[in-house]
């Protein structure tokens, strides 16, 4: 079997030699939901904007808003121009993280009222509570919810008493995007949304989703390495959650051996999920899972455009992730536990 590998953690489980998943659609969106034909406007044309544009072009007419001259059939220099000309059913916000809040506000001012998906994080700390809108629905692009291993883990934990969870994510930042100087990337600058807490918040999202949110939290992290960056390069946090009292998460830009693993101990089983190796182990039994680099994104868009979305990260859930991150930074600075109020 082909196993999913990771070109870079920021590329969200890309396989350099992709093969289609045996069960591409999660059960919730199999047979009862199909991708409707729509018109989509993608805002931004970096790595994520290119991916969203390419995948959505398979089933939709797509236009891209970019301030740069780009190689794409339908482009616009402004959001207003794109909305007026394309009249989209769906908008995907994939520009710089620090611009998400302004883009949401601008969409609202221009009268857009249909569905929006914003790449993670939904907004920066400073924009929390200041992006009111009238959209039909607002989702956040936490596509790892659609990874078959995360879905298998969620299903395996149904009805279980969860005793402990440990999640570990790390990759050496200069290797994430080897064709670019890491010092010039958004990851290096906290003002642009960099730092491991925001950059690797996929793992916080799916843990909160599976474990029912969080009750209290603490953490320790900062800039510890010799990397030429301003953002935090390592952070360890502890959570008490409704479904598990002991959750430990470690995130870093430092691992030269790439890791993305989750270990869960329940009252009956020990479960290890390796998202790099593409395996799930329950006690002595190991299963390999085939996945496609694009499948999680396809399924995310299918769900976002469905009549009744069931898996996509909702607005309030995306806000909760950013709020947790904000409070974790306070907890680390004051060396205290913080309650989720």
Same domain, 159 and 131: no
Residue 5 lies in a domain: no
The encoded tokens of residue 102 equal 């302004």
- Looking at the 3D structure of the chain, how many domains does it have? 2
pLDDT for the residue 13 = 39
Phi, psi of 160 (to 5 degrees): -90, 150
Same domain, 80 and 208: no
Residue 11 lies in a domain: no
- What's the length of the chain? 341
Same domain, 89 and 131: yes
pLDDT for the residue 295 = 95
Same domain, 97 and 155: no
CA 259 to chain centre: 17
The encoded tokens of residue 26 equal 């999660």
Q: How far apart are CA 41 and CA 43, in angstroms?
A: 6
pLDDT for the residue 126 = 64
Same domain, 257 and 330: yes
Same domain, 180 and 275: yes
CA 119 to chain centre: 7
End residue of a domain, out of 108, 143, 178: 143
End residue of a domain, out of 143, 167, 182: 143
151 contacts: CB under 8 Å, gap ≥ 6: 26, 145
**CATH code for the domain of 120:** 3.40.50.720
Same domain, 92 and 119: yes
Structural domain boundaries enclosing 120: 24-143
Higher pLDDT: 190 or 143? It is 143
Residue 281 lies in a domain: yes
End residue of a domain, out of 143, 170, 204: 143
Q: In what order do the strands lie in the sheet with 270-274?
A: 285-288, 279-282, 270-274, 259-266, 162-170, 247-252, 234-240, 216-222, 338-339
Q: How far apart are CA 303 and CA 301, in angstroms?
A: 5
Residue 173 lies in a domain: yes
Q: How far apart are CA 174 and CA 121, in angstroms?
A: 22
**Torsion on CA atoms 260, 249, 98, 53, rounded to nearest 10:** 30
Give the confidence band of 30 by pLDDT, cuts at 50, 70, 90: low
pLDDT for the residue 28 = 64
Q: Give per-residue pLDDT as tens, 213-246.
A: 999 999 999 999 999 999 999 999 999 999 999 9
pLDDT for the residue 179 = 82
What is the reported pTM?
0.90
Q: Using the predicted structure, report yes or no on whether residue 153 has a pLDDT greater than 50.
A: yes
Residue 4 lies in a domain: no
pLDDT for the residue 301 = 96
pLDDT for the residue 178 = 80
Contact 228, 221 (CB under 8 A): no
Same domain, 124 and 225: no
pLDDT for the residue 16 = 36
Nearest Cα neighbor of 236 from 189, 168, 187 is 168
Q: Give per-residue pLDDT as tens, 237-293.
A: 999 999 999 999 999 999 999 999 999 999 999 999 999 999 999 999 999 998 888
Q: Give per-residue pLDDT as tens, 158-189.
A: 999 999 999 999 999 999 888 889 899 889 99
């Amino acid at each position: 079997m082909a196993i999913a590998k990771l070109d870079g953690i920021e590329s969200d489980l890309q396989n350099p030699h992709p093969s289609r998943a045996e069960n591409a659609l999660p059960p919730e969106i199999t047979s009862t939901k199909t991708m409707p034909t729509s018109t989509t406007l993608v805002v931004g044309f970096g790595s994520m904007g290119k991916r969203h544009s390419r995948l959505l072009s398979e089933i939709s007419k797509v236009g891209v808003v970019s301030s740069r001259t780009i190689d794409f059939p339908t482009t616009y220099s402004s959001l207003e121009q794109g909305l007026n000309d394309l009249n989209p059913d769906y908008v995907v916000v994939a520009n710089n993280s620090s611009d998400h809040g302004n883009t949401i506000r601008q969409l609202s001012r221009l009268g857009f009222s249909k569905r929006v998906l914003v790449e993670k994080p939904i907004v920066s700390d400073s924009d929390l509570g200041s992006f009111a809108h009238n959209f039909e629905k607002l989702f956040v692009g936490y596509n790892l919810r659609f990874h078959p291993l995360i879905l298998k883990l969620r299903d395996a934990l149904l009805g279980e008493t969860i005793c402990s969870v440990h999640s570990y994510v790390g990759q050496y930042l200069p290797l994430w995007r080897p064709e670019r100087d890491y010092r010039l990337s958004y990851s290096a600058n906290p003002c642009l949304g960099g730092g491991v807490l925001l950059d690797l918040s996929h793992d916080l999202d799916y843990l909160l989703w599976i474990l029912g949110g969080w009750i209290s939290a603490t953490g320790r992290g900062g800039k510890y390495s010799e990397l030429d960056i301003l953002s935090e390069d390592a952070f360890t946090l502890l959570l008490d959650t409704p479904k598990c009292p002991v959750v430990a998460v470690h995130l870093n830009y430092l691992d030269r051996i790439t890791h993305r693993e989750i270990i869960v101990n329940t009252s009956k089983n020990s479960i290890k999920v390796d998202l790099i190796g593409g395996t799930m182990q329950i006690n002595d039994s190991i299963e390999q899972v085939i996945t496609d680099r694009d499948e999680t994104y396809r399924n995310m868009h299918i769900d976002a455009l469905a009549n009744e979305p069931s898996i996509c990260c909702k607005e309030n859930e995306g806000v909760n992730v950013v709020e947790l991150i904000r409070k974790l930074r306070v907890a680390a600075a004051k060396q205290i536990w913080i309650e989720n109020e």
